[in-house]
Amino acid sequence: MKHILSALVENKPGVLSRVTGLISRRGFNIESLAVGPTEDATKSRVTAIVNADEVAYEQITKQLHKLISVYKISDLTNDNAIERELVLFKVAASPERRGEVVEVSNIFRAKIVDVGKNSLTIEATGDEAKLKGLEDLFRAYGIKEIVRTGKIAMSRNAKE
């Protein structure tokens, strides 16, 4: 099953490679990955989506925890977590169908960020279900390109 793995790590060169190397070395594909500094500039947050069964996932987290560069591992999968991802869609839209695409975007509170002769570029954020829904609708018009940031997640509970 899919796990949202959230790791608090040292903000130093090579640390991302230690984390992702350990996961891939054990034969698992990282489906999505997002990294960025946290409120503490010496620490980074790595959010990775990993497809693994329970036993394997437990082993991955235990091994990750052994890395000296890793402070904390949390599994936000079943947590009441806020999940977000930012996606840029380049949708084929002739001048006469532009209105429809804009309308769809508005319903999903997505933003038009660029308009071309025969395409629209739309920025959308949200959880997986919303972005999937939007993608399905855009597919009817023809999607020229998709770029995604990778999922980030945060626990809803006030912590520490």
Partner 1 sequence: MSEEMNNEQLDERGMRTAQTVGAPRGLGSRNPKQGMELTGAEVVVASLEAEGVTDVFGYPGGQAIKIYDALYDSTQINHILARHEQAAVHEADGYARATGKVGVVIVTSGPGATNTVTGIATAYMDSVPLVVITGQVPRAVIGTDSFQESDIVGITMPVVKHSYLLQSVEEMAKTFREAFHIASTGRPGPVLIDIPSDLNSEKVIFNYPDKVNLASYKPTYKGNIKQIRQAASRIEEAKRPLLYVGGGVISSGATDEVLRVAERLQIPIVTTLMGKGAVPASHPLNFGAVGMHGSKYANLAMTESDLVIAAGARFSDRVTGQLSRFAPHAEVIHIDIDPAEIGKVREAQIPIVGDLKGVFSLIDSQMSNDQPHPQTQEWLAKLNGWRERYPFYQPAVGDSPAEIVPERVMAELSARLDPDRSIVVTEVGQHQMWAAQFIKRECPRTFLSSGGLGTMGFGFPAAIGAKIGRPECQVVCIAGDGSFQMNSQEMATAAINKVGVKVLILDNRSLGMVHQWQKLFYNERYSQTLLEPIPDFVKLAAAYEWEGERIENPDELEGALQRMLESDGPYLLDVAISREQNVYPMVAPGSALSDVMGAIDIAVGAVRTGMPDVADAQQVASEAAPKEAPSPCAQIDEQFGGRWQSDPADTGTRIGQHLAKAAQQEHSHSQEGGER
69 binds partner 1 (CB under 8 A): yes
21 binds partner 1 (CB under 8 A): yes
Residue 146 tokens read as 């998709």
Question: DSSP string spanning 1-26?
Answer: -EEEEEEEEE-STTHHHHHHHHHHHT
Applying the rule CB under 8 A, the residues between 48 and 67 that interact with partner 1 are: 51-53, 55-56, 58-59, 62-63, 65-67
28 binds partner 1 (CB under 8 A): yes
109 binds partner 1 (CB under 8 A): no
Query: Which parts of this chain interact with partner 1 (CB under 8 A)?
Result: 10, 13-14, 17-18, 21-22, 25, 27-29, 31, 51-53, 55-56, 58-59, 62-63, 65-71, 135, 146
